[in-house]
Amino acid sequence: MESLYNFTSYELREKLFKKKVSSEEVVKSIYERIEEKEEKIKAFLYLCKKEEVLEKARRVDKKIALGEEVGKLAGIPVGIKDNMCVKGIPATGGSKILKNFIPPYNATVIEKLLQEDVIIMGKLNCDEFAMGSSNENSACYPVRNPWDLNRVPGGSSGGSAASVAASEVILSLGSDTGGSIRLPASFCGIVGIKPTYGRVSRYGLIAFASSLDQIGPLSKDVRDGALMLEVISGYDRRDSTSVNMEVPPYLSLLEEDVKGLKVGIPEELTGDGIDEDIRKRLSEAVVLFEKLGVICETVSLPTLSYALPVYYIISSSEASSNLARFDGVRYGYRDFTGEDIFSMYKKTRGKGFGPEVKRRIMLGTYALSAGYYDACYLKAQKVRTLLKRDFERVFKDFDALLSPVAPTTAFLIGEKIKDPLKMYLTDICTIPVNLAGLPSISVPAGLIKGLPVGLQITGRIFEESTILRLAYSFEQNSGYHTVSVKYSRQKPEESNY
């Protein structure tokens, strides 16, 4: 019999509701898989105690057995990126400065998942405070790419992507400020969704850049992503930027025909900076979409070329302000060697933050400081307006945009970590989307030299259902989503490490 960890949540849901399997069996299978894989992959920062989790699974099984109503994700093992608060279990955000922090409350997304009876397996590794593109900035240990252990899984939601790709969980939550869901989804061969800004509550997410951060699902296929997105979306009065708007039934809209939709391919994201193999894969995707009756045309958004500096100015500025709360007073790490409060602050922050976080705090503080505010920060916000206008213009004629997710497939651990600017360039295709608040998905587009690659589909604000539909028809007609399932079915000795 097929191991239970190989299935999607949608498939498991059917089996659970029909009482063909129990949640207890699913959870046991997941723990076996973690036992087998985790030592090499390092996707978890905190794994919940097996007996306690099994007890929760049995409670779901009992509800199902008694014919009681259960949630949309009842009994499904899920992992949570460590920058979200789950009551009673540690949340470090991948940082030393939050080493002993145990949240006394749940993030809204966690409340929503628990309402649907999910089984939380633990907290997943990430770049410190979600700053990074490779997961090498985790204060604990880097995550390794399940496809090649010498390579990065992408960041910052590296643990969220690697755990789903290696079937250590069925679904996971990540967060995306400049590509942190889509990039690791692409590098690990799975689906990652960055919802429209305001679609999902940020309450209980450790803030990085508040005008850009958004929580979203990572999954083995588009259907699973749509299911989880449906669960976590919606207005929350505890996040004043969350939008009070009805959440469409994403799952039931998936199969609608894509014929007649118009898709633009931004020429700024298909230039020389993108690997030839990836550009080729994009052209093949265009051919497939055209066969399905989608109209594909090249478009130009000239300001896309300036998105990277705009992003790093704005996100670092917001981070420098958000991270001021880590001062050693109310929670987390404190250095006790200082004699007065100011030296306590400085020593705590100097020792508690890692190099990349300090670099961004420094950049942001510089950009916001007197004399540079207008030339640096305000200038970036103005260019952001130009970028938004560029998107608004093309979205008058096009329903979605198609592009690569990243210029390359997964790179080697250590390859870029010494050169911050080189690392930042990894995010060139994903960043513009966050600056404009748009919904976007990374969907598998096969393998290049044995490594997965994703395709990015971006839509108008609050039109997640359109990009889900396009991604679903691409997946169903290309069959690429089965690639990661195939990977997880390999015996360890057969796999490529």
Partner 1 sequence: MLTLSEVEYVASLACLELTEEEKKIFSQQLGEILDFFRQLDILDTEGIEPAFHSIPLKNVFRNDIKGNSIEHEKALSNAPQREGEYFKIPKIIGGGE
Residues 95-134 that bind partner 1 (CB under 8 A): 100-102, 104-105
Minimum CB–partner distance for residue 417 and partner 1 (Å): 12
Interface with partner 1 (CB under 8 A), residue total 74
Residue 366 binds to partner 1 (criterion: CB under 8 A): yes
Q: State the Cα–Cα distance between residues 274 and 430, nearest whole angstrom.
A: 13
Nearer to partner 1, 190 or 435 (CB): 435
Task: Give dist(CA 247, CA 198) in Å, integer.
Answer: 12
CB of 216 to partner 1, least distance (A): 15
Q: Which residues of 162-186 are buried (b: 16+ CB within 10 A; e: fewer)?
A: bbbbbbbbbbbbbbbbbbbbbbbbb
Distance CA 298, CA 401 (A): 10
- Chain centre distance of CA 429: 15
Residue 328 found at the interface with partner 1 (CB under 8 A): yes
Largest CA distance in the chain: 71
The reply to whether 401 sits near partner 1 by the rule CB under 8 A is no
283 vs 343, which CB is nearer to partner 1?
343
* Strand partners of residue 119: 77
CA pair distance 26, 314, nearest whole angstrom: 43
What is the residue-wise DSSP string for 401-460?
Answer: EEEESSSSSPPBTTSSTT-HHHHHGGGTTTHHHHHTT--EEEEEEEEETTEEEEEEEEES
Measured from the CB atom, the residue of 266 and 439 that comes closer to partner 1 is: 439
Identity of the residue, 214 or 219, whose beta carbon is nearer to partner 1 in the bound complex: 214
Contacts of 333 (CB under 8 A, 6+ apart): 96, 97, 98, 99, 100, 348, 351, 352
- How far apart, in whole angstroms, are the C-alpha atoms of residue 111 and residue 339? 42
Question: Does 388 interact with partner 1 (rule: CB under 8 A)?
Answer: yes
Q: How far is the CB of 210 from partner 1 (least distance, A)?
A: 10
Q: How far is residue 161's CA from residue 29's CA, in Å, rounded to a whole number?
A: 19
For partner 1, the binding residue among 78, 251, 361, 470 (CB under 8 A) is 361
User: What does the alpha-carbon distance between residue 242 and residue 197 come to, in Å, rounded to a whole number?
Assistant: 8
Locate tokens 């970590």: which residue? 417
Given the complex with partner 1, which of 49 and 237 has the nearer CB atom?
237
Active-site residue, from 29, 160, 172, 180: 180
Beta strands 171-175 and 77-81, pairing class: parallel
Report in angstroms how near the CB of residue 134 gets to partner 1 at its nearest. 17
By CB under 8 A, residue 371 contacts partner 1: no
Near partner 1 in 19-78, by CB under 8 A: none
Annotated catalytic residue 317: no
Of the residues 37, 42, 81, 123, only one is catalytic, namely: 81
**Does position 394 bind partner 1 by CB under 8 A?**
no
Residue 233 a catalytic site member: no
Instruction: Determine whether 484 is an active site residue.
Output: no
Site for partner 1, residues 441 to 480, rule: CB under 8 A:
461
Looking at residues 299 to 318 of the shown chain, list those that interact with partner 1 (rule: CB under 8 A).
303, 306, 308-310, 312-313
383 is an interface residue for partner 1 by CB under 8 A:
yes
Q: Are the beta carbons of 86 and 130 closer than 8 angstroms?
A: no
Catalytic residue among 9, 156, 186, 315: 156
Nearest-approach distance from CB 212 to partner 1, in angstroms: 7
Binding mask 414-443 for partner 1 (x = CB under 8 A): ------xx--x---------xxxxx-----
Closer by beta carbon to partner 1, 79 or else 432: 432
Helix (H, G, I), strand (E, B) or coil at 174: strand
Token pair in block for residue 294: 């989608």
Q: Which is nearer to partner 1, 22 or 137 (CB)?
A: 137
CB of 244 to partner 1, least distance (A): 10
Q: Which residues are catalytic?
A: 81, 156, 180
